[in-house]
């Protein structure tokens, strides 16, 4: 018997107060999953003609996903603010809201035209009484009440990490509902799989290059989809390590601390894995700016430790 998302959320003290907010995110995912399937037919593939705050070309579906999340979350009584990779400033929704939601509405969107899986990444932070939502957004990831992602792949998966553990839900398209598929996910402690854009190797630091050499010499396999949610989901279920490190050209890496690294780090740690920028746990980094980037190494704890041992040895 697969418990529906809403019932499962309300059964756990850690997630019951978040149920309305998480159901709104899941509701946006449900609509988005269908839009993605029909995107090519409805001509919503391609660039929207605008750039986001980071200077990246927005895809039409980036804008659509962002609007959908904003619309669903603005109807929630508990949501004070919504911040997104696609918007320069956070949107203040309710002065009496208790939570701030951070999202990468459609991660990996440049892959849509080739039908590669993409995802929505989110985190929910508490918004302290009297705290300006903007300052509440700049809290370390350790404070996240719940984080996770939707993966629009061969099935639509929803992974939720909270103090109650990490649960995997799968969309039943017939019922239009997410159903619990696996409760209390724990990730493998080690696995010889690495996931990195190895074409950037000349820009990696010496320690990381030596670790790659170690992986080549020790029977590791490589898997890189180039869509973070899909790469992280495989890493969660099968084990291994996913990296988007600093490069000479991008000393802070590519991925965003608040919208991508923190939620994924929270999923990893709550499933028994690890996530670091090479020096500190991702979840302990004190954010300084909404859209800041950070290098990330995440996955099975022993594999993350092996990468770090090579970095320290350099």
For residues 86 and 67, the answer to whether their CB atoms sit within 8 Å is no
Q: Is 8 in the site for ligand AHM (CB under 6 A)?
A: no
Given the rule CB under 6 A, which of 35-43, 179-187, 225-233, 301-309 is the region that contacts ligand AHM?
A: 225-233
Tokens of 248: 């000479």
Q: Is the torsion defined by CA of 303, 162, 167, 104 positive or negative?
A: negative
Q: Is 197 in the site for ligand AHM (CB under 6 A)?
A: yes
Rule CB under 6 A: which of 103-142 touch ligand AHM?
A: 104, 107-110
**Residue 226 contact partner, candidates Mg ion, ligand AHM, none, CB within 5 to 8 A by sort of partner:** ligand AHM
Nearer to ligand AHM, 97 or 273 (CB): 273
Q: What is the 3-state secondary structure (H, E, C) of 5-37?
A: HHHHHHHCCCCHHHHHHHHHHHHHHHHHHHHHH
Tokens of 166: 């990490």
Cβ-count burial 10-44 (b if 16+ within 10 Å, e if not): eebeebeebbbbbbbbbbbbbbbbebbeebeeeeb
Q: How far apart are CA 291 and CA 37, in angstroms?
A: 29
Nearer to ligand AHM, 78 or 294 (CB): 294
Q: Is 227 in the site for ligand AHM (CB under 6 A)?
A: yes
Rule CB under 5 A: which of 94-113 touch Mg ion?
A: 104, 107
The torsion angles phi and psi of 76, rounded to 5 degrees, stand at: -85, 130
**Residue 254 contact partner, candidates ligand AHM, Mg ion, none, CB within 5 to 8 A by sort of partner:** ligand AHM
Q: Is 66 in the site for ligand AHM (CB under 6 A)?
A: no
Q: Is the torsion defined by CA of 26, 40, 232, 206 positive or negative?
A: negative
Nearer to ligand AHM, 66 or 104 (CB): 104
Nearer to ligand AHM, 15 or 300 (CB): 300
> How big is the site for ligand AHM, counted in residues (CB under 6 A)?
12
Nearer to ligand AHM, 107 or 269 (CB): 107
What is the contact surface with ligand AHM in residues (CB under 6 A)?
56, 104, 107-110, 197, 226-228, 244, 254
């Amino acid at each position: 018997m697969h418990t529906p998302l809403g019932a499962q959320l309300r059964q756990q003290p850690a997630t019951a107060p978040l149920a309305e907010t998480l159901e709104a995110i899941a509701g946006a995912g449900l609509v988005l999953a269908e839009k993605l399937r029909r995107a090519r037919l409805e001509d919503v593939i391609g660039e929207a003609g605008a750039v986001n705050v980071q200077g990246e070309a927005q895809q039409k579906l980036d804008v659509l996903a962002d609007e959908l999340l904003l619309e669903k979350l603005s109807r929630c009584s508990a949501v004070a603010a919504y911040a997104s990779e696609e918007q320069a400033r956070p949107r203040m929704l309710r002065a009496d809201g208790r939570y701030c939601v951070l999202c990468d509405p459609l991660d990996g969107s440049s892959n849509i035209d080739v039908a590669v899986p993409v995802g929505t990444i989110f985190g929910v932070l508490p918004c302290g009484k009297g705290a300006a939502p903007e300052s509440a957004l700049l809290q370390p990831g350790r404070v996240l009440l719940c984080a996770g992602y939707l993966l629009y792949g061969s099935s639509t998966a929803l992974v939720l990490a909270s103090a109650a553990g990490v649960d995997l839900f799968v969309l039943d398209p017939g019922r239009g509902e997410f159903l619990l598929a696996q409760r209390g996910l724990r990730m493998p402690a080690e696995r010889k799989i690495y996931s990195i854009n190895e074409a950037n190797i000349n820009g990696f630091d010496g320690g990381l290059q030596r670790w790659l050499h170690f992986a080549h010499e020790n029977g590791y396999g490589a898997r890189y989809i180039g869509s973070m949610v899909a790469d992280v989901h495989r890493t969660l279920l099968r084990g291994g390590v996913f990296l988007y490190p600093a490069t000479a050209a991008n000393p802070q890496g590519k991925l965003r601390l608040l919208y991508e690294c923190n939620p994924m780090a929270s999923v990893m740690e709550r499933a028994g894995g690890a996530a670091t920028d090479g020096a500190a746990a991702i979840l302990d980094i004190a954010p300084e700016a909404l859209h800041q980037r950070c290098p990330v190494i995440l996955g099975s704890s022993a594999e993350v430790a092996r990468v770090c041992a090579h970095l320290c040895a350099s």
